[in-house]
Amino acid sequence: MHLNMSENNCPFEERDRDRLPPILNHSLDRGPKLPFPSYGSFISTLNHKRESGSHSLSSPLLLPAVRQVRELPPICPDVRQKHRISIDVLPPEVKARFVSEPIIPIRTKTAKEFQDDVERATISGDWKQVHDFYLTTFDSFLELNGAFKKEANAPFNTIEDSGINIKFVNIVYDALLHTPADTQKSVLKGIINSLLREWKGPRTKDDLRAYFVLVQNPQYTSPATYVIYAHLLRQIAALAEADHHFLMHWFKKLPQKRFKQLVERLQLFITTRLFPAKPDELPPMAKCSWWIPSATKVLSLLNAANSISSPPIIPFTDLYNLTLDHIDFMEDYHTWQAHGNSNRFTFCQFPFILSTVVKKAIIQRDSEQQMISMARQTLVDKVSRRQRVDMSLLFLNIKVRRLQLVSDSLDELSRKRADLKKKLKVTFVGEAGLDMGGLTKEWFLLLIRQIFHTDYGMFTYVKESQCHWFSSWKCDNYSEFRLVGALMGLAVYNSITLDIRFPPCVYKKLLTPPIVPCDLDTPVGMATLTLDDLQQIMPDLAHGLGELLSYEGNVEEDFYTTFQVFQEELGVVKSYNLKPGGDKIPVTNLNRKEYVQLYIDFLLNKSIYRQFAAFYHGFHSVCASNALMLLRPEEVEILVCGSPNLDMGSLQRVVQYEGYSKTDPTIRAFWDVVLAFPLELQKKLLHFTTGSDRVPVGGMADLNFKISKIDVSTDWLPVSHTCFNQICLPPYKSKKELRQKLTIAISNAEGFGLE
């Protein structure tokens, strides 16, 4: 073998070579005469070494034994002895036989054959053939690929196709739980052996496929398997970002049922580790502090897969872990505030797992702590100046006249910007009474109704989508839009559900960015919106633009339009260029996507920028908190408007009675009628009684819904006090009469029956 060494580095002369003893009468330079093990022998040796726990391919596999060879010094003094012979200096005929990656064994068992084996075993009681299949398949990552990969040695290096026969995997796992205990144990032992192997270097796609198969194992529902499950999750969580990208897209392709089962197993694992029913079944928390972080990181891959799916595979609320409602989430939040997304784990790093209840509580407590700090400083200043301390300093006191409701509210909130995070108290001038919550809610209801009335001009009502949108008219003062934003923020902070009908993109814009920029010139609310967002506001226009995008003819000749659009403002039609010189740029087949995107951006961002910027700053003047970074746009909507999911059974369990008891005939008839109502009438009942057809974040229990008796003739219709979430029922004698009167009242509630 010729070693390429320079004169300076070589410690011996060329003539010294003759003094070296022969190497078994063979020379590596004479490749064809070298006795090299056959291919089958090589694989056999490799497999033997794998079973013994070694994963390095050392030189004895390739080189003949050397006898009586004087030890040669290293080429360079700092090079270790074992690096003297490199694969790069081997002859081509030797290198050609070296296997770069392990060869996946060819397994020909089909799903149908496996099902037949299981059926025969079930009838005969002889499970040996099925047992052997499980024993072999789960023995290693290679065997997993051999069993479940569509083509054993095909690469399948794309995010679109994992290369795994998912149907076969599901059949094998569904059958596993019905096999004898020793078979199930053999699977777990095989997984342990696979995970304990010493892996070096980056993972291959076949390794990812093995993880993809193993994580779907249904055995991980029992705490007895959690140690194995935890190590599997740890290895998946530790994969490179590029590997996570592949897994995320493969998870996206799973059937909804299997995807949901994966989520549920991970959630159960986290819950059981936090609150074990039998602590002795699990290792001490101090020894497995990495369990929950690993599981949460893997769950984040499923959340990402769900987010990029259209429509989502499961509702985002299915990723909430409601157990976390009972932990010290404020400590978790403060740790996150202090350390951010560093290596120190917090649940706030993965906000998808936190319920809206937790996020609302974090926002409120964070604001309360800011408010308490401000109030304490105010009290200290008063005391230091020996001034009389007024406890009203602890509240945001709003005094308004009913006839000047909007202007007075605007003035009060403008003057008291420093107090917006204090608890709200409302007083109507000239009216006696303390605000125990009813006056505050009435203030919100009246103000929202007035501001959103079409005659007021701030918002337009789009009948097709049944929602409000910002008027695009220009003015010198946008303070009233700031007032609406502040109202929404105050509603969140004071747990008031508002009857506002904004499209979902408004809440996307409110979180763009989630934290108010320090530089006041930084644009806010300029979200990246799509045709789907426009569809939720202006469905007819969105449909027309969609047809433009899919039109197969000549767009320029048939549509004859340019990058100029027209908009009516206060009865005057104005034109706007979507880009410089847009009135002279025709829309063609090549640029129509750009035209549609610019048009959407103009309608939903640029044409209402000043209005929305004022609205944005008003909302964040109350809810300025890093906790907003935890929220999805849908969750902001739920905080402001409540949840659309009604559960009248839950309301029946928490309702309060005044003058009635739950066993009274009128009450029994009431619930028989209400529970039989279609959803639309149930919503009308809720709107009639509370002023909104949605449920607060905390559920029906947070409504404080009350049914009161009113001693009047049964000819009367029910009456509601929306400020107190109260409905007053006369003592109707029959279910039929109650249904008739209640239906009339709730169906004609706008401007009638409300006090």
Q: Which of 628, 183, 625 is nearest to 421 (CA)?
A: 625
Tokens 């909302």 map to which residue? 619
- Coil/strand/helix, residue 99: coil
Q: Which of 399, 406, 533, 499 is nearest to 457 (CA)?
A: 406
Burial of 57 (0-12, 13-18, 19+ CB in 10 A): middle
Structure tokens, 214: 């193993």
Q: Which of 271, 290, 268, 272 is nearest to 282 (CA)?
A: 272
651-674 per-residue burial string, b: 16 or more CB within 10 A, e: under 16: bbeebeeeebeeebebbebbbebb
CA distance linking residue 657 with residue 661, whole number of Å: 6
Phi and psi angles of residue 694, each rounded to the nearest 5 degrees, phi first? -120, 165
Bridge partners of 399, per DSSP, are 427
Q: Which of 712, 705, 706, 715 is nearest to 741 (CA)?
A: 715
> What does DSSP assign to residue 326?
G
Residues 6+ apart with CB under 8 A from 531: 542, 545, 546, 549, 596, 600
Catalytic status, residue 723: yes
Q: Which of 420, 437, 321, 427 is nearest to 371 (CA)?
A: 420
Q: Which residue type sits at 397?
A: N
Q: Are 669 and 730 in contact (CB under 8 A)?
A: no
Tokens 């990723």 map to which residue? 319
- Coil/strand/helix, residue 754: strand
Q: Is the dihedral of CA 498, 503, 507, 510 positive or negative?
A: negative
Residues 6+ apart with CB under 8 A from 475: none
> What does DSSP assign to residue 347?
G
Helix (H) or strand (E) holding 412: helix 405-415
Q: Which of 452, 476, 505, 492 is nearest to 611 (CA)?
A: 476
CA distance linking residue 601 with residue 608, whole number of Å: 10
- Coil/strand/helix, residue 61: helix
CA distance linking residue 177 with residue 216, whole number of Å: 13
Phi and psi angles of residue 488, each rounded to the nearest 5 degrees, phi first? -65, -40
Q: Which of 348, 467, 623, 723 is catalytic?
A: 723
Q: Are 642 and 690 in contact (CB under 8 A)?
A: no
Q: What is the DSSP string of 417-484?
A: GGGTTSEEEEEETT-----SSHHHHHHHHHHHHHHTSGGG-SEEEETTTTEEEE-----S--HHHHHH
Angle among Cα 243, 249, 255 to the nearest 5 degrees reads 135
Centroid of chain to Cα 562: 40
Angle in degrees, 0-180, between the axes of helices 609-623 and 479-493, rounded to the nearest 10: 30
Q: Which residues are catalytic?
A: 723
